Structure 1
Amino acid sequence: MIMRLGTTAFAALLATSFALPTMAQTAPTAITIPPKYKNFRAAIYIAVGDARRLADRATFDRQYARAASQLHFDKVYIEAYRDRDFATDDELERVKSYFAEKGIATAGGITLAAGGEGGQFGTFDYEKPADRAECEKAVRLAARHFDEVILDDFFFYTSKSDADIAAKGKQSWTQYRLETMRKVSRDLVLAPAHAVNPRVKMVIKYPNWYEHFQGLGYDLDQQAQAFDGIYTGTETRDPTLTDQLLQQYESYGIIRYYGNIRPGGNGGGWVDTFSTRDLDRYAEQLWDTLFAKAPEITLFNWHPMSEDAAAEAGQRPWANAQTSFDWEAEQRRWRASGARLPAGWGRAAGYALETVDSVLGELGQPIGIASYKPYQSSGEDFLHNYLGTIGLPIELSPHFPEAAKTMLLTEAAAADPMIVAKIQRALKRGATVIVTSGLVEKLQDRGFRDLAEWVPTGRRVLIDQFVQGYGAGNGTPLNATEGTQKPILFPDIRFYTNDSWAIVRGVAGAKGFPLILMNRYSAGTLYMLTVPENPADLYAMPPAMLAQIRKVASSDMPVMIEAPAHVSLFAYDNDTFVVQSFRGETTPVAVHAAGRQLVELPSGTIVSATAPIAGSATAAPDRADFALTLPPHSFRVFRIVR
């Protein structure tokens, strides 16, 4: 296990200065710097404790040599303030000048946080004059020294002091915090920064827990447009180890979402080294950030990138397989190069970035199933990421996809007061609209029954069998040879037989329940996807059931896959695609693509079509079938030849 940090340890690490790395006996006389990346910029964030230590030239030279020998980086963010600790003007200028000598671009950073208690993060109390003054002081310090300043992702609001309670009044905490943080952004961050340095670009980094932002004052609507740019936290870490339980696909999906919030203004993605069981999980976060076409990747933070210690690989049963992140082979190459120190976190980052850079230039612009999450919305938390982790390429946006041929609308779409009218308009122009059971339930009293009389009964049922059956007649079992890993709890939705058709039914005993439900409306088709009460139970479904979901949702995509859960698909507008496995074993994958051949990139190897797969859920006359295998924790990249 590597860097297995609980909440308390993680908060303590952020709130304190990082320990000095082991000092080498002698600094190397020359540095071999890995080559520059062709398709993105790489940056390293330097927390204030390390920034202050780097003001000592000997420390800088030693640590820079270690970091630069392991990975290429174009830029550093030098933090001026975190948790009541200020760097001095002299320290900031010295560190800035040292990096300038090396040809490294510099920007500033500030973390507007106030420590915390018991491992829980603490924020400023913006009703307290002393905290407001400290916030402005930190901003002015950073803006004096840098023309670009990024806010690390603690610029939210958790305080419920008596002053906060009085100021909130009859508003909800969400309303109070959103309005307060808009004012704080304007009055204590943007205005002071631009007053000190009219050239400064102030960038707000938004973290990864976007479903809950509005409740703590983060505003992806007005605030995201007020700043000079935004940045994206793409760290997903381990999907079951940490308290957030973020799914692997989010490292890709969140870049797409924030990019649609601020087109051209989303500066990049940010990944840390915390809370992963194995080193491959760290590499996957970097890859997926860049598969989403982030223009820059920021590595948090300087300490692991520059320390002398070896990177701890963790438990890797696949260590001897030829995976995309072949750490054993890279360590052998590293030792053969004559390196005096072992390969550390910096080399793990450098190796992962070099691997993905070799294929990124072949990929066009990402495409996916148009999905709508309005500003300040929540519901079916992070469901898009679970769907992405079962192989649906998702393009998430805060704007309703008016022109999309196929769209996916989850419970979050209920935040739009006009959503039923928008669905109706889309159906009338011939679109395929997929709604989730959560959205159907939310819209019962808002006119949804005018589209289809689908009514949640309030009952829940355990399903352990799945049957596909389009129209009248016998159905086809979807788990004839492979059942679910466990019975799965679903909501029961009532519908009228022959008015709507259950494309897939879940069976419990001798009773069927709709899991994919269809209704024709005007020129369009309306589907409902019944979502398990626990969305993680999507992973427990048999592959044939997952294939039915993909068939409905991906009908307009140039490529789709058949695979077990934890295999993702990223598609692009130039007929290229990436298939990535987060699984710990070699996995067979069937690809259905609108072409006659696949060319693997960057090797140019031709992959020929196979005979049609018997019983395939996604096979179609205009698609060819291709059989692939994916090594553990690996990706493969292809171009479709039509």
Structure 2
Amino acid sequence: MKQFLLILGVVFIATVIPVKSQSPYKVSIYTRAMEVRNMEDTSWLHQTWATISSQLEVDKIYLEIHRDQLFIEPEKMQLVIDFFKKQGIEVAGGITFTIDESNNFETFCYSQPEHLKMAQDIVERCASLFDEIILDDFFFTSCKCNVCIRKKGDLTWDAYRLKMMTDVAKNVILAPAKAINPHVKVVVKYPNWYAHFHELGFNLETEPALFDGLYTGTETRDAIHSNQHLQPYLGYQLFRYLEALKPGHNGGGWVDTYGSPTFDRYAEQIWLTLFAKAPEMTLFEYSAMASPIRRTMIAPWSNQETSFNYPGFETIKKSMASAAQHALNAISPVIPQLGNPVGLKSYRPFHADGEDFLESYLGMIGLPVAIVPEFPDNEPMVLLTEQAAEDSEILRKMDRQLQSGHDVVITSGLVRVLQKRGLDQIVDITYTDRKALVHDYLMRFRTVPGDKDILIPQLEYYTNDSWEIISAMGNGLGWPLLHRGSYGEGNLYVLTIPDNYRDLYDLPAEVLNLIRQTLTQSMSFQLQGTSQVALFLYDNQTMIVESFNDQPVDVKVITSEKPEQLIDLVTSKVLERTVIPEVRFWGRMLSPEQYAFQIHLPPHSFVALKVK
């Protein structure tokens, strides 16, 4: 032990503390228990920290005390804490409540007294060492052992687990931690699969009020070649949703290096986290940051002028820490200039099922969708997907919104559920058991050809009770893709969702433009162009347009308000403005005169803009 302390002292002297730049966010690294254990080898600690700190400006480090039944003894942890504090690094504790991640992410069984005792012991040890503790991803349970089955009884799994995990949070985690250390701040980090939280016991209704803070897993990795198929927009969207659950207490976002096919895809996850205005960016995990970069992550489009800027990224003898820093450098001029995010509010009741993760697909077609936990009264437009049916009062709330002169857009999935509960009192539309294979689209008496067949549900309605805005056509017939019915002083719109959500990306640009124009008509700017391009809007007349396409794309942002100038926040270039004439039909204004700004986006790149 004395030898260990002596060597650590040498390390303190030898390690150069990087100069921190002023930034609106912190950069943190999470260290798993196995890496903390490795830090007992001071030469390994010195070497890895020298690698990381020479390539990445780090403000904070999380040191994990338990994962997979690996415990770090307090006296050994204290030595590591002392080391990083002497480097000028803020230190916090971490806990992962897993038994064996390699066994299908085996969690604790909170039905069993011995696991409850172990969990309490872990948190008490951690609280004795740290004034801040984060619970990584796994504060849930997937256990269905015989004990769980017996205790669950006639309850559903979600009802049993939601109550149990709330009790565990109160009595096993928070009360014991604060008994040991009254000043400790306990933060629960939520993973990226929010639509399924309730089934495994993550309780978004009770936990935000109990815990001192929340944290967001914003990693989305590869949307295609992974089991989750999470869309890139989810990282931004999820941070904003959790921020709405406990405003001012969503501590940051968290990404890892795993599963990203290119450096751009890794960088995008960092960018989206900070575009969402996260106050801290945590990079998982320490050994990955110290590992050599994978040259296989260099994208085929690396010779183009992308936002990641491959020519400026030196890969020889560098670690993944350098890739993270390079990604952060790309947005460092942008983040301080952004206001508060705004968007089309989508109401998600607690513990809701239906059209899982659909909001992120809508974000990927240029709709700036913001998930909120309460019905947003008096918004100009409210988006309701099938999950809104969890609220037994949803029809009454829709009625109130429409009669007050505001609009509502619902998805075909919500039509399917609400048609049995009285939707016909607002608009008489039916989700049938038939499907249609559609290819082309009829809008404003003009047919727009599509590129592929898309399977959609067939909706039926009464002529003149409501009307199609966009008809999806197949073999000479058409069905609603975007539909409208008037009610009270407002309009109820219906958006038909393809059976495969990604087919939304294959809708023609003209079809997407009309969907965007209709759903975001009250917003200052709208996107025009192809899919897999996202629009991020802020309340200080700034915006970001980001493409997730593998090819260059040209898009436009349009507005009905004549801006003096639209300026690139990084280059100060003034974008050229063109006029889009007003559109009338039978003497009625369909679209006012608008102003368009052309934007060229290389693959996986963004542009940040400001109205002047």
Give the TM-score category using the shorter length. Answer: over 0.9
Q: CA deviation at 1:619?
A: 9.8
Q: Which SS does the other structure have where 2:166 is aligned?
A: helix
Does residue 494 of the first structure (1) align with residue 460 of the second (2)? yes
Match of 2:4 in 1: none
Match of 2:261 in 1: 277
Q: Which SS does the other structure have where 2:44 is aligned?
A: helix
Query: Aligned equivalents of 1:27 and 1:401: distance in 2?
Result: 53
Correspondence 1:323-472 to 2 at 5 A: 323-331=306-314, 342-469=317-444
Q: What is the one-letter code of the residue matched to 1:162?
A: N
From 465, 479, 483, give the equivalent of 1:513. Answer: 479
Query: Aligned equivalents of 2:180 and 2:446: distance in 1?
Result: 69
Query: Aligned equivalents of 2:286 and 2:91: distance in 1?
Result: 13
Q: Which SS does the other structure have where 1:545 is aligned?
A: helix
From 198, 219, 229, give the equivalent of 2:182. Answer: 198
Q: CA deviation at 1:499?
A: 1.5
Match of 2:218 in 1: 234
Match of 1:638 in 2: 609
Match of 2:522 in 1: 556
Q: Which SS does the other structure have where 1:73 is aligned?
A: coil
Q: What is the one-letter code of the residue matched to 1:66?
A: T
From 37, 45, 58, give the equivalent of 1:73. Answer: 58
The change in CA–CA distance for 1:428 and 1:580 in structure 2 (over 3 A counts) is same
Match of 1:215 in 2: 199
**Do the aligned partners of 2:582 and 2:592 also contact (CA within 8 Å) in 1?**
no
Q: What is the one-letter code of the residue matched to 1:195?
A: A
Q: Which SS does the other structure have where 1:349 is aligned?
A: helix
**Do the aligned partners of 2:334 and 2:570 also contact (CA within 8 Å) in 1?**
yes
CA displacement 1:602-634 (0-9 Å, x = unmatched) = 221111202438999999535311111001111
Does residue 531 of the first structure (1) align with residue 497 of the second (2)? yes
Match of 1:153 in 2: 137
Match of 1:22 in 2: none
Higher-RCO chain (CA-CA 8 Å, sequence separation at least 6)? 1
**Do the aligned partners of 1:55 and 1:92 also contact (CA within 8 Å) in 2?**
no
Q: CA deviation at 1:315?
A: 5.0
Does residue 603 of the first structure (1) align with residue 571 of the second (2)? yes
Does residue 321 of the first structure (1) align with residue 304 of the second (2)? yes
Q: What is the one-letter code of the residue matched to 1:554?
A: T
CA displacement 1:256-313 (0-9 Å, x = unmatched) = 1000011111111010111111111000000000001011111000012123x23435
Match of 1:8 in 2: none
Q: What is the one-letter code of the residue matched to 2:247?
A: P
Query: Aligned equivalents of 1:353 and 1:519: distance in 2?
Result: 46
Does residue 92 of the first structure (1) align with residue 77 of the second (2)? yes
Query: Normalized against structure 1, the TM-score is what?
Result: 0.90
Query: Aligned equivalents of 2:565 and 2:415: distance in 1?
Result: 41
From 446, 469, 493, give the equivalent of 1:476. Answer: 446
Query: Aligned equivalents of 2:366 and 2:429: distance in 1?
Result: 27
Q: What is the one-letter code of the residue matched to 2:509?
A: P
Q: What is the one-letter code of the residue matched to 2:500?
A: N
Correspondence 1:38-77 to 2 at 5 A: 38-77=23-62
Does residue 121 of the first structure (1) align with residue 105 of the second (2)? yes
**Do the aligned partners of 2:584 and 2:591 also contact (CA within 8 Å) in 1?**
no
Q: Which SS does the other structure have where 1:166 is aligned?
A: helix
Query: Aligned equivalents of 2:511 and 2:550: distance in 1?
Result: 22
From 128, 131, 134, give the equivalent of 2:115. Answer: 131
**Paired-residue identity, %:** 39
Query: Normalized against structure 2, the TM-score is what?
Result: 0.94
**Do the aligned partners of 2:195 and 2:357 also contact (CA within 8 Å) in 1?**
yes
Q: What is the one-letter code of the residue matched to 2:115?
A: D
Q: What is the one-letter code of the residue matched to 2:414?
A: L
Query: Aligned equivalents of 2:47 and 2:86: distance in 1?
Result: 15
Match of 1:289 in 2: 273
Query: Aligned equivalents of 2:338 and 2:13: distance in 1?
Result: 39
Over the aligned positions, Cα root-mean-square deviation in angstroms equals 2.0
Q: Which SS does the other structure have where 1:114 is aligned?
A: strand
The aligned length equals 597
Query: Aligned equivalents of 1:129 and 1:30: distance in 2?
Result: 45
Query: Aligned equivalents of 1:130 and 1:466: distance in 2?
Result: 61
Q: Which SS does the other structure have where 2:328 is aligned?
A: helix
Q: Which SS does the other structure have where 2:297 is aligned?
A: coil
Q: Which SS does the other structure have where 1:43 is aligned?
A: strand
Does residue 112 of the first structure (1) align with residue 83 of the second (2)? no
Q: What is the one-letter code of the residue matched to 1:172?
A: T
**Do the aligned partners of 1:613 and 1:619 also contact (CA within 8 Å) in 2?**
no
Match of 1:576 in 2: 542
Query: Aligned equivalents of 1:623 and 1:597: distance in 2?
Result: 14
Runs of 5+ consecutive residues of structure 2 not aligned to the other structure: 1-10
Query: Aligned equivalents of 1:613 and 1:204: distance in 2?
Result: 51
Q: What is the one-letter code of the residue matched to 1:247?
A: Q
Does residue 163 of the first structure (1) align with residue 123 of the second (2)? no
